Structure 1
Amino acid sequence: MIGYADRINIDPKILSGKPVFKGTRIPISIVLKMLRDGATFQKIIDEYPRLTEDDIKAALDYSVFIVDF
């Protein structure tokens, strides 16, 4: 499991506090929706080159944390 805490940022000053990837304004919800719709990690990285495979895994880990909370 990739830890999400060092890759996900929640700041009320950035996108009204929506979870984003650190150092970006890319909300994790976009990546989760892309995965839901069948996108591969590579497709996501092609569309958002600042993201890495570990960033995408962190988004999944964060969503698991929220569901289990």
Structure 2
Amino acid sequence: MKRYGRDTFEEVLLMKKKQIISRNPNVMSGALVFAGTRVPVEILIQHLTAGDSLNKFLDDFPTVSREQAVAYLKMTLEVADARAA
């Protein structure tokens, strides 16, 4: 996994977040959603923890791109890794 200095990591994370996820009080009551959609990221986590595949999630929510879903999962892992360090 690529490691970043703290400042650089935060900058990369901010850039990625804008392309992957968004939060707006007028969209889905302010829930964190995939950028450009009304699909809460929580739905992806629910699908995966229920044992559904990523393909099943993408079939159910075609407005979310594979790239967004994978990037969100990677971003979440990077955040968890950075917090654990």
TM-score category of the 2 structures, normalised to the smaller one: 0.7 to 0.9
Task: Confirm or deny that 1:25 pairs with 2:38.
Answer: yes
Structure 2 unaligned runs (5+)?
2-15
CA separation of 1:19/1:61 partners in 2, compared to 1, >3 Å: closer, same or farther?
Answer: farther
- Residue 59 of structure 1 deviates from its aligned partner by 2.8
Distance of 1:28 and 1:36 partners within structure 2: 13
Question: What TM-score does the superposition give when structure 1 sets the normalisation length?
Answer: 0.75
1:44 to 57, 81, 84: 57
2:70 pairs, out of 57, 60, 63, with: 57
RMSD: 2.2
Shift of residue 51, structure 1, vs aligned partner: 1.6
Greater relative CO, 1 or 2 (CA 8 Å, sep 6+): 1
Displacement of 1:63 after TM fit?
A: 3.6
Instruction: Give % identity.
Output: 29
User: How many residue pairs align between the two structures?
Assistant: 67
Structure (1 or 2) with the larger CA radius of gyration: 2
**TM-score, with structure 2 as normaliser:** 0.64
Runs of 4+ in 1 over 3 A off after TM superposition: 61-64
Unaligned runs of at least 5 residues, structure 1: none
